[in-house]
Copies of this chain bind each other. A is one copy, B any other.
Amino acid sequence: MAEETEGLPSRTDFSAWYNEVIRRADIIDVRYPVKGLNVWYPFGFALRQHTYNLLRSLLNRDHEEALFPLLIPENEFMKEAEHIKGFEDEVYWVTHGGLTPLDVKLALRPTSETAIYPMYSLWVRSHADLPLKLYQIVNTFRYETKHTRPLIRVREITSFMESHTVHTDWEDANNQVEYEIELAKEFYRELGVPIIISKRPDWDKFPGADFTIAVDAVFPDGRTLQIGTVHHLGDHFAKTFDITYEDVNGEQKLASQTCFGISERSLAAIIAVHGDDKGLVLPATVAPTQVVIIPIIVGKRGDEILAAAAELEAELKAAGLRVKTDKRDMRPGAKYYHWELNGVPLRVEIGPRDLDNKQLVCVNRLGVKTQIPREGAVESVNRLLNEAHDQILEKAENHLEAHLKHAETVEEANEVLEGNVVAVHWCGDRECADKLEELTNSALLGTEIRSKYVADDEGRCIICGKPAKPALIGRSY
């Protein structure tokens, strides 16, 4: 937890910048003795806590939080054939209790369908029990053999939000899918992170789902990161786990289900999308410290200035803001450096001149400077925080727009793919997709794209020339 004074790597070298900023800003320590298992520093933990509390507040409007066990017995885990295939290479298995081999092996949940649905089978009896909408926020595990990277590809996802809903029929479940998409949109808007929503191709959907809607962010290097998914499960799992209900006419019916997940990749997106060469840039909605007050002590008025800072801190805190005053005995410049690295949205300076003029000097994390009158500071600070949020969202939107290219031919696509995602037209045939992926060394991310930068127009397939709809290709984490 020691801060260094040399500069960060430039964000143009994104990978180096990301690893350094996560370490120096006290988010995560990767030196734990097992690769891919990381330690949250208190500052990182606080950021995580605020982010998940925001997510909880949105979910609690129409879901309830519950909690299911980590360990899934092999027989339950193995029940749904497609689902197992999707996970068999990456599940951690507990085989021993003490020195005794277990009768039934236990999987560490990679996701909790097979832990939750045996209970849903007990709980759902009648149409009156539906819809059932629960979520949990839990640690989940993947035995990653690829290169791990904090928050992006890890072996213990320490905070996976997974919502699991049950409905009377496919249509009602589909309405829930749309509801969860809107919820994900609202969540990321609160974080200032622009997203692209699309339907994953069939071969890339969640194992056992009817279809998967994915939420992607575009990183500074133009690669995408999947930061949320909503799955329509149809009645696949309901069949396997016997989730049935008695309808209004007394008939037994199969239920229809959805699940929806957001992981700590949401924090990776906050860090990667907003950060700059000085360090983190945090949205005020989740910043552990929203406002830092820096007393500028020059001349003999130190006590007076500290008293004014304390009074301001109390006033802002009483209004519900998360505020710190940096009273350390060091140059203001070194303090600015520290709080910029930590991404604090607004810095408020109080010096002798500000006292005399009954004013405050505010500088937001993007460097925008504003003088405000001391009177009514709460209102002004809240306004500046809102403006700062708009500014980081706009900056991020501009980045997304600049990195979303269009191409009509493979040659055009190859010209712009480096550092960008590219909208093309694709006929829907798997063969054309395989060829496209091979020729462009990219992945087909999705169709039915929901983004203001991609029109829902008809075109010609970039491979076969047949009538086609928009599809997105790119390189992903």
Q: Which A residues have a C-beta under 8 Å from some C-beta of B?
A: 1-2, 29, 31-34, 37-42, 45-46, 48-49, 64-71, 73, 75-76, 88-100, 104, 106, 108, 115, 118-119, 122-123, 125, 129, 134, 139, 141, 143, 145, 155-156, 158
Contacts and interface: CB of A to CB of B under 8 A. Distances in A.
17 contacts: A1-B129, A29-B122, A32-B69, A32-B115, A33-B75, A37-B69, A39-B67, A39-B69, A45-B64, A45-B67, A49-B65, A88-B99, A90-B97, A92-B94, A92-B106, A94-B94, A94-B95
A46 B143 CA distance: 32
Contacts of A45: 64-67
Contacts of A31: 119, 122
Contacts of A155: 71
B143 A97 contact: yes
A106 to B, nearest CB: 7
A42 B65 contact: yes
B95 A93 contact: yes
B94 A93 contact: yes
Contacts of A41: 66
A96 B89 contact: no
Nearest to A65: B45
A289 to B, nearest CB: 13
Contacts of A141: 70-71
Contacts of A70: 37, 139, 141, 156
Contacts of A104: 34
Contacts of A88: 98-99
Identical subunits present: 2
A134 to B, nearest CB: 7
Contact of A39 (B39, B106, B119): B119
Contact of A32 (B90, B98, B118, B139): B118
Contact of A73 (B34, B42, B75): B34
B123 A1 contact: yes
A198 to B, nearest CB: 29
Contacts of A96: 92-93, 95
Contacts of A89: 98-99
A346 B91 CA distance: 48
A93 B102 CA distance: 10
In the complex, the 6 A-B pairs of residues with the closest C-beta atoms, listed nearest first: A97-B143, A42-B64, A37-B69, A40-B67, A89-B98, A93-B96
A43 to B, nearest CB: 9
A39 B70 CA distance: 10
A356 to B, nearest CB: 37
Contacts of A97: 90-93, 143, 145
B65 A46 contact: yes
A169 to B, nearest CB: 22
Identify the interface centre among A29, A90, A97, A115: most chain B CB within 10 Å of its CB: A97
A155 B94 CA distance: 13
